[in-house]
Every structure is written in C-alpha cells, then in structure tokens.
Structure 1
Amino acid sequence: MSKRVISALIALPLLIVFTIYGGIIFKLGVSALTLLALYEYVNAYKNTNYKIIVPVFIAIYFLNLIFIFTNQGPEKDLLLIVLAVLISMAIPIFNKEYNVISSALTCIGIVYIIVFFNMLIYVRMGTNGHKFIWLIYIIAWACDTLAYYSGSFLGKHKLCPEVSPKKTVEGSIGGIVGSILGVLIWCWLNNDLKLNLLYMIILGILGGIISQIGDLSASLIKRYVGIKDYGNIMPGHGGILDRFDSILFIAPIVYYYIEKVIF
C-alpha cells in the first residue's frame, strides 16, 4: 500500500500540472505517455508467438507528433489509421517474420494507444477544454472507486470471471453510479456552462460502462499474454496502460459526445 500511495503522490501532481498548463506542456506529457504505453504494449507480446511490427509503430508515432505539434485536428487520425492498415498488411507479404495476426495487433495498438491518447489533447484544446478534460478523469476515477467499494461490500455475482475474477455485477453497477455522481459533481462545479443535465447523466451512464470495458479489455490482453501488469513505472500500480486503461476508452467518448451532442 505504501508503494501505491507514494506512486500516486508523485504521478497525480504531475498529471494535474500538465493538464492545468495545457498547450505544448500537455502535448509533451501526452506524447511521453503514448511512447511509454507503446513500449508496454510491444513488451507484453514479447513471450508470445506473435510479433508487433515495431517499425510501423515508430513511423506512425513520429508522424503523429508532427501532426500534433502543427496543430492538426482529429481528421488526421483517419490518415494515420489508413496508413497503419496499408503498411501493416503489406509488410507480412514481404517479410515472413510477421503474419496477419501481427498486422492486426499492430493496427489495434495504434488505434488503442496513439489515436485514443490523442483524444485527450483534442478535448483539452477544444472549447472550454480546460474544464471538459477533468470530466474524463472524474468519470474514470469515480467509476473505479465506487466499483471497488461496491464490489468489496456488496459483490456476490461474478461479472466475467474468465477475464477478471474479482469483478462483480454489483461492483459494476456501483461503478456506473459513481460515474453518474462524478459527472453531476462536475456539472455543479461548472454550472456556468449551463449544460443539459439529462445529456450529462446519459454521458455518466455511458462513461461508467465504457470505463469498465476499457479496464476489462486491458485485463483481457494481460490474461492472453500471461502478464500481471504492463509495467512497473508506477510501483504498486503497474504501467501506463494499467493506469490509463479506462481513461483511454473514455476520452474518445467524451470528445465526440461534446462535439456531436452537447455543442
């Protein structure tokens, strides 16, 4: 527990500082997290029969950096995905070290890590981004916290034991409630935005569900490759992908919800 507390006391202030400053500072922070997460993803598969096409990761990562720091919008993510698919599918044709599974895992990693991390930047740099960015964190943390305590005290029915044995249906419901409460508290703190409360409650429900899917998806990969954590950069917490699994799934939901529903 002491390792978890110490790690949190170091990591949380850094995240808060990067988020508050925004601009190039936030972009640098997210870019660093993206690079570390890509490394963890590649490393997770090192003891399996499948190889990630690392050169594609590297090429798409640096192309993405150029786009980010020249203030390109989310429309360029489609170009990244198209290039990733084209190149990843072509390489196994000429290099038998890789196969079609390598192509699939590479493309999934690029969308899951690079594109989803980009969404944090788009939210932060958008209209009222200095306020909406906290909504992503709050949904993830509130959901995770209430899911944990609801499951600990009320949990009786297993949710999906083959993926995560400790998670329960009761904990999952508690997580959704936590997400809704988190969104409502955020709305109260930002009442000057005059947002539609019903729309925000719906976002809380969606966020609670998607947050848990993100968590379970990360666990599914770990079970498949036979690892406990993606890394140990945060002692007691694991790696970047262990801590940002929910946030990565919530970020695109919040971004598109803001763009298509709220505004």
Structure 2
Amino acid sequence: MKQRVITAIVALIIFIPIIVYGGGLIEFAAAVLGIVAMDEFYKMKYDTPHYGQEAVAILAMLALILPWKQWFPILPSPLFLYYIFIMILMAMMVFDQKDFHIDSLGFPVFTSLYLGIGFHSFIAARFTSLIVLLFALFIVWSTDIGAYMIGRKIGKHKLAPSISPNKTVEGAIGGIVCAVVVSALYLWKFGAHFPYSMPMMLIFVVIFSIAGQLGDLVESSYKRFYGVKDSGKILPGHGGILDRFDSLLFVFPMMYILGLFTM
C-alpha cells in the first residue's frame, strides 16, 4: 500500500502540470505513453524481442496519435500515413514467413489502432479544454472508487469471474452511481462548457462509466490470456501504462463519438 501511494503521488506531480499546460507537452506525453504501452503489449505476447515489427507498429501508432498534418502539411492524412506503415508490416511477411505471417499481422495492426486512436482522443479532449479532459478523468476515477467500495461491502454476484474474479455486479452498479453523483456536481459547476443539457450529460455519464469498466475488463482479458498479473512494471504498485489507461482508452473515443470534443 505504501508503494502504491508513493507511486500515485509522484505520478500526479508529473501528470498534473502536463494536462494543465497542454499544448505540445501533452502531445509528447501521449506519444511516450503510447510507446510504453506498445512495448508492454509486445512483452506480454513475446518471450523474445521483435524489434523490427514493434518499431513499425510504434510508427503506425504515432501516425494516429500525433498531428503530423498540422506540422508537415505536405504529408498525407494520418489514416493514409498509418496505412503506409501497415503496408510495410505486410511487406515484412515476405521476408520472415516463419515467424511473421498473416495471422500474426493482426497483432501490430490491432495494437497500433487501439493505442493510436485512444491516445489521440486523449490529446483531442485536452485541446478542446481542460474541463473536458478532467470530466473524463473524474468519471473513470469515481467509477473505480465506487466499484471497489461497493463491491467490497455488498458485492455477491460475480461480473466476469473467468476474467476478473474480484469484480461484482453490485460493484459495477455502485461505480456507475458514484460516477453519476460526482459528475452531477462537476456539471453543476462546469455544465456550460458542454453542448448538452444536464439530464443528457448524466445519461452519457452512465455510458462512459460502462465503457470504462468494459475497457478495464478487456485489458484484464489480455493479461489473463498472456498469463501475467500486470501489463508492466513502470508504475510500482500499480503495474504498467495499460493498467492505468485501460478505461480511458475506451472512454475518450466514446466521448468523441457522442460529440463532447472534436478531433
């Protein structure tokens, strides 16, 4: 517990100035987080390094995360830039047919798309406003706290026992309720910064809370499949970047889909 608290304090000391300042700093932070998360994926999947494949997957991911078109107008759109790196991955199959084939190609394509869109949405939320970004963070944090407290106190019915044995249906509902309460207080103060009415926003909060919990379960399924407890060790007591951002990688794209910010 002491290690978890120390790590959380240090992480917040680093993280808070980044999200407050925004700009190029948050773009750099998102790129670094994406690279570390990609490395965690590869270390979970492979016992030996696959540097070439991982490097191209990282470049494909960065094509989606960073605003290359804004910096270099002559470059193609991010989607086409992304596809160029996917074509490079496909070409690599020609020269490494034993270890890299059409089935294994799906892994770098999936991870680069998942992390690329997720962390780009993180940047886009901040570029819209700090208030929008904090809204997502408060939803995820309050959902986690509510689910843990309610689940520990009255949880009886397992939510997904084969993936995450400690999570309960009661905890999941408690997390949603906690997120709605916290969000209502937040929207009472900052509701004017959002394009929808309070009732509609609270309906969205339920959707975001469910999405965040689903993101957590999805990441747990990766770890269960690969037989690891944590995705990484970069955050002592907390695991890896994927362990900390699993919910947000689902919530931010959902917020974009529902029109709370633009890309």
Match for residue 117 of structure 1 among 107, 119, 125: 119
Indicate the residue corresponding to 1:200 in structure 2.
201
Q: 1:248 maps to what in 2?
A: 249
Q: In the TM superposition, what are the counterparts of 1:63-142 in structure 2 within 5 Å?
A: 63-64=63-64, 65=66, 67=68, 70=71, 76-96=77-97, 97-126=99-128, 129-142=129-142
Q: What's the CA shift string for 1:66-89, capped at 9, x where partnerless?
A: 6177288xx945335534544444
Percent of pairs identical after alignment? 33
C-alpha change, 1:19 and 1:173, in structure 2 (3 Å) is same
Contact 1:156 1:170 in 2 (8 A): yes
| 2:223 corresponding residue in structure 1 | 222
Distance 2:183 2:77 in 1: 30
Check conservation: 2:61, 2:113, Cα contact below 8 A.
Answer: no
DSSP 3-state at the match of 2:212:
helix
Letter paired with 2:20:
I
- Structure-2 change in CA distance of 1:52 and 1:71 (3 Å): closer
Contact 2:38 2:58 in 1 (8 A): no
Shift of 1:178: 2.1
Deviation readout 1:180-228 (Å, 9 max, x if unpaired)? 2232122122144364112211211111110011001111000111111
C-alpha root-mean-square deviation of aligned residues, in Å? Answer: 2.6
Runs of 4 or more, structure 1, over 6 Å off, are: none
TM-score relative to the length of structure 2: 0.88
Shift of residue 44 of structure 1?
0.9
Whichever residue aligns with residue 12 of structure 1, its letter is L
Query: 1: distance between equivalents of 2:22 and 2:260?
Result: 19
Distance 1:181 1:68 in 2: 40
Whether contact under 8 Å (1:152, 1:171) holds in the other structure is: yes
For the pair 1:9 / 2:9, whether they are aligned, the reply is: yes
Change (3 A) 1:63 1:148: same
Deviation at 1:62, TM superposition (A): 5.0
TM-score normalised by length of structure 1: 0.88
* Residue in 2 that maps onto 1:180: 180
Corresponding position: 1:44 with 2:44:
yes
Q: Which range is displaced more, 97-106 or 219-228?
A: 97-106
The 1-side partners of 2:182 and 2:51 are apart by 40
User: What one-letter code is carried by the residue in structure 2 that aligns with 1:258?
Assistant: G
> Contact between 1:179 and 1:207, CA under 8 Å: does it hold in 2?
no
Count of residues in correspondence between the two structures: 256
Aligned equivalent of 1:29:
29
Residue identity opposite 1:99 in structure 2: H
CA deviation string 1:80-99 (max 9, x = no partner): 55345444444324421212
Give the whole-Å Cα distance in 1 for the aligned partners of 2:51 and 2:151.
37
Contact 2:35 2:58 in 1 (8 A): no
Post-superposition shift, 1:131?
Answer: 1.1
Could you tell me whether the CA contact under 8 Å between 1:77 and 1:115 is conserved in 2? no
Structure 1 counterpart SS, 2:247: helix
Find the counterpart in structure 2 of residue 56 from structure 1.
56
Aligned partners of 2:68 and 2:78 also within 8 Å: no
Work out the CA distance in 2 between the residues paired with 1:84 and 1:62. 10
> Cα 1:33–1:169, aligned 2, differ >3 Å: closer, same or farther?
same
Check 1:151–1:62 CA distance in 2 against 1; reply closer, same or farther (3 A cut): closer
Report deviation, 1:233: 1.1
Question: In the alignment, what sits opposite 2:236?
Answer: 235
